[in-house]
Amino acid sequence: MKELTFPGGVHPPYSKDISIREPLREAPLPSVAVVPLSQHIGSPNQAVVSKGDVVEEGQLIGSSPAFISAPVHSPISGTVKEIRKAFHPALGPVMSVVIERDKSKEAKDYTQEDVDAEALSPEQIIEKVKDAGIVGMGGAAFPTHVKLNVPEGKKIDTFIVNGAECEPYLTCDHVLMTRKTQEILKGIELIAKVLKPKDIYIGIENNKKAAFFAFQKAIKKATRKVLSDIHLVPLHTKYPQGGEKQLIQAISGREVPPGKLPLDIGFLVQNVGTINAVYEAVHMRKPLIERVVTISGDCINRPGNYLIRVGATIKDIIEQYGIELYRDPEKVIVGGPMMGFAQPTLEVSVLKSTSGILFLSENLAKTPPEEKCIRCAKCVDVCPVRLLPTELMNNVKNGNWPEVRELNVADCIECGSCAYICPSRIPLIQYIKEGKEVLVRKKMR
Amino acid sequence: MKKLAISVSPHIVSPVDTRYMMKGVLIALLPAICAGVWFFRLRAVGVILASLAGCVVTEYLLQRFRGRKIRIDDMSAVVTGILLALVLSPAIPLWMAFLGGVFAIALGKEVFGGLGHNIFNPALLARAFLMAAFPVALTTWSRPITLDAVTTATPLGLAKFDGVMTPYADLFLGNIGGCIGETSSLAILLGLAYLLHKKVIDYRIPASYLLTVFVFAGVLHLVDADKFMPPLFHLLAGGLMIGAVFMATDPVTSPITARGRWIFGIGCGLITMIIRIWGGLPEGVMYSILLMNACTPIINKFTRPRRFGLEKGRKA
């Protein structure tokens, strides 16, 4: 079958071999969970518990009346020790609920209950997704129920399941796709019931053959039309293939217009992890309190894919799982190496959107000094949204803001391909982000 | 554990850095250097060393006196020095080659603000200067594999002024009079293959440049085969190959957009042919590239890619 892709992009070393054949390991429960109250794009939550409260696993601990918001639940049973600011991997300190685990209590068993998913209306499914606090698990963390709530007058023609996983090192989606194929398909059915799309696609990069074959087999065997009609498409392995706009372009050839959302042209994209969470919320009444996290890099002895509770700190994970740092990491990255965040401390919690924790040595993650631009235009060649990164950089440096706007700085998806490819090691997206921020500020004035 | 490093993403970078690119150019130049030294012996070695010395010494002194970081190790001055020598006659006095190197760096690069800021290809600018200052020395050509003072004409000169055709085999292998580095098309094509393979340059400029020359010469040859040389002759003779592969592709002075690179190459091809056919000189490669260098900023401005998400034909 022809591998689909988009123009531009880069081929970083994928480094997935480190963890791709590792099983899905059940990780021990954390002794303390530090749960940030806000883990999504949108309005922050307020705590609904207070210091000293005894909480059950899965109990609501934070919510917000705002529409673009997703509640948070207690990942373990225990006592609320305090509510304080704690380190969030992308945002810095945010209000968090600190829960000490009650060691006498086992993890809750979410056996498949007798939920009649067939009987649920689209509204009821969205309600369950909302109550479970599901957000996009591919990294952006946009509340899923908001995405599923298609505004009046809009129609989703094409539902795309994102199994691209284009970030190097990360294999969490791969193991999920191979181990939870049936669950993901059931999740797809639920979402299809809400959206009623004409076409459903599952896109998987060709370096994840096992996941591709798992779906191929399952779709062939499927008896229900909605599943047997799914188009399973192999994608060329290229970063940022898993970007929403790039995936839509690869599969349909269509480009999402500037300032518009995929739904404006009839598309909706969901990551496989999110779809699995939808399945668990509806069929198992399980809120989003744990996820698969890839732990990898060249500094640790037990790389793998772990099912980890939200709120577990990196420090706790290393200690409890017997992970040994046999050499000093230069950087600890939450997420992938292309778009993830370097952490100053290990006292940082796993979030609903944490796909990986990478321990990279100096050999792999050094920050080389910035040199002069030689105008080789490699950044221009790789930009998936056809920007001119070098021109943007020059105009940001010179404070030429009208020109920065003229160069469509707002279109940047911040994938980092330009900075990856730059032979002069110029942190191009840093300049571009600065340009974006200045323009937003100027418009407000 | 030692202190963790913090930086913005991406946290990994491509192994291709500027030094890798400069080294790539130098490796790609090796066949042409070897061919030049083979055909012109010690004269070629002398000119290369003189030009190199002019470039490197000037770069060092200027950076030193301006209190800037010494950047000899970025290899760009070395590349300029070798490129300049390769587009000079093996018969040129060594002091002129040295002076050319000084000019290339001082007025071709550093006055503009150094690497990345110059508008013109420094090696070609220096050659244009030498051509204007010492026209006789620049166009006195020695016969290959002779160290005596016997002079000859280049195949383009022979064709243009005497109507004499040089055999293709000689043109291809390099057994002809001409600049040190332009003598062997084969050697330059080997370099091109390496540059493309290592992704140091983009194929668009050499492809559009060579194709334009081929089509232009082909059409004229079809119209009047007696008056106009065949297209293959135009491809293999003179400085076209070295210009299209090593000079026009200079990243600093060529367009950054893909469409712009097509236009740049086509422009170089047209100007080269206009000078070759109707100009007073036998050769037009150097002027074509310098003139297109001057057009690069405006080409960049008018070939901005279509904004992502907007349909074709609509302005951003």
Whether A111 shows a pLDDT value over 80: the answer reads: no
- The pLDDT assigned to B316 comes to 42
B304 interaction partners in chain A (CB closer than 8 Å): 388, 407
A13-38: average pLDDT: 92
Q: Using DSSP bridges, classify how beta strands A331-334 and A356-360 pair: parallel, antiparallel or unpaired.
A: antiparallel
By CA distance, what is A338's nearest residue in B?
B10
A268-278: average pLDDT: 97
- The pLDDT assigned to B145 comes to 63
Work out the mean pLDDT of chain A and round it to a whole number.
Answer: 93
Peptide linkage before B122 cis (omega within 30 of 0): no
Task: For residue B214, give both structure tokens.
Answer: 């081929």
Half-sphere exposure in the Cβ direction for A330 (13 Å, CA): 14
Cross-chain CB nearest to B11 (options A345, A365, A376):
A365
Whether A377 shows a pLDDT value over 90: the answer reads: yes
* CB neighbour list of residue B197: distance below 8 Å, 6 or more residues apart: none
Contact criterion met (CB below 8 Å) for B118 and B108 = yes
Contact criterion met (CB below 8 Å) for A122 and A110 = no
Whether A304 shows a pLDDT value over 50: the answer reads: yes
Q: Using DSSP bridges, classify how beta strands A92-101 and A72-73 pair: parallel, antiparallel or unpaired.
A: unpaired
Q: How confident is the model at residue B113 (pLDDT cuts 50, 70, 90)?
A: confident
- The pLDDT assigned to B150 comes to 56
pTM (2 decimals)? 0.92
Radius of gyration of chain B (CA): 20
A310-322: average pLDDT: 92
B192-209: average pLDDT: 96
Task: For residue B40, give both structure tokens.
Answer: 């012109």
Question: Which of A335, A405, A15, A201 minimizes the C-alpha distance to B10?
Answer: A335
Cα dihedral A111, A114, A115, A116 sign:
positive
The nearest CA of chain A is from the CA of B31 a distance in Å of 24
A325 strand-pairing partners: A300
Q: What's the CA gap between B101 and B193, in Å, rounded? A: 28
Cross-chain CB nearest to A377 (options B1, B4, B251):
B251
Cross-chain CB nearest to A411 (options B5, B16, B307):
B307
Asked if the Cβ–Cβ distance from A374 to B306 is below 8 Å, we say no
Specify the length of chain B in residues: 316
Whether A43 shows a pLDDT value over 90: the answer reads: no
A343 interaction partners in chain B (CB closer than 8 Å): 4, 6
Chain A / chain B CB contacts < 8 angstroms: 151
- The pLDDT assigned to A445 comes to 47
Question: pLDDT for B225-280, tens place per residue?
Answer: 888 999 999 999 889 999 999 999 999 999 999 999 999 999 999 999 999 999 88
Question: pLDDT for A60-81, tens place per residue?
Answer: 999 999 989 999 999 999 999 9
- The pLDDT assigned to B74 comes to 84
Per DSSP, A295 falls in state: E
- B304 and A CB contact within 8 Å: yes
Cα dihedral B222, B227, B228, B229 sign:
positive
Instruction: Report the percentage of chain B scoring pLDDT > 70.
Output: 96
- The pLDDT assigned to B147 comes to 44
B52-71: average pLDDT: 91
Residue A412, φ and ψ in degrees, nearest 5: -60, 130
Q: How confident is the model at residue B313 (pLDDT cuts 50, 70, 90)?
A: low
B155-176: average pLDDT: 83
- The pLDDT assigned to B176 comes to 83
Asked if the Cβ–Cβ distance from B18 to A345 is below 8 Å, we say no
Q: Among residues 30-89 of chain B, which lie with CB inside 8 Å of chain A?
A: 74, 76
